[in-house]
Amino acid sequence: MNKTYLFLADGFEEIEAIATLDLLRRAGVNAVTVSINETLAVKGAHGVEVAADELIADVNLEEANMLITPGGMPGSSNLAANAKLCEMLSAQNAREGKIAAICAAPAVVLAPLGILEGHDATCYPGFEGALKAGGAYHKNQRVVVDRNIITANGPSSAIPFALSIIEALKGQDAADKVAAGILL
């Protein structure tokens, strides 16, 4: 278990995905971007196209120490519509593996799968109803860490979200080192 998978769908929120990826790699996390498309090319919500590292068919869940879903629309809806990703997230949660989601993704991707049931969580404003419908306890905070789940509320929270992931994977010292390196 040495890979952190960050899943990308067309319409993903670029800041949330790229800032998170950048900070994880600065911390020495083996962060791998995964396209849920048939090709490695994925186009963000604001027209930024990136080439993912792997296709979803190549993901080995046994190697996963964390699964991350960035938000954005329709990116979150596209992630939620991918049966393979939903199976992976459910399996990761069943084994109490680490999962992180930001923006609309906690409400649109995780909540319908029951992953947030009984957890404190946050999401992008306006999606609270879906979060609560999935059994989560909405917290009006930028980032919420509850057991194996990390959620954040939107693009401006991408840096604290990524630092929380680093802390969960590598400890507070690693997160502090990255924060200092970016002058936070």
List the catalytic residues. 103
Alpha carbon distance 106, 49 (integer Å)? 23
A 10 A CB-CB count for 178 gives 24
Alpha carbon distance 160, 127 (integer Å)? 20
Q: Contact 79/69 with Cβ under 8 angstroms? A: yes
Give how far Cα 29 sits from Cα of 9, 77, 126, Å: 22, 27, 32
Tokens of 59: 């993901």
Alpha carbon distance 30, 57 (integer Å)? 18
Q: Which helix (H) or strand (E) holds 51?
A: strand 49-51
Taking alpha carbons only, the member of 80, 71, 59 closest to residue 5 is 59
| Sign, CA torsion 46/51/54/57 | positive
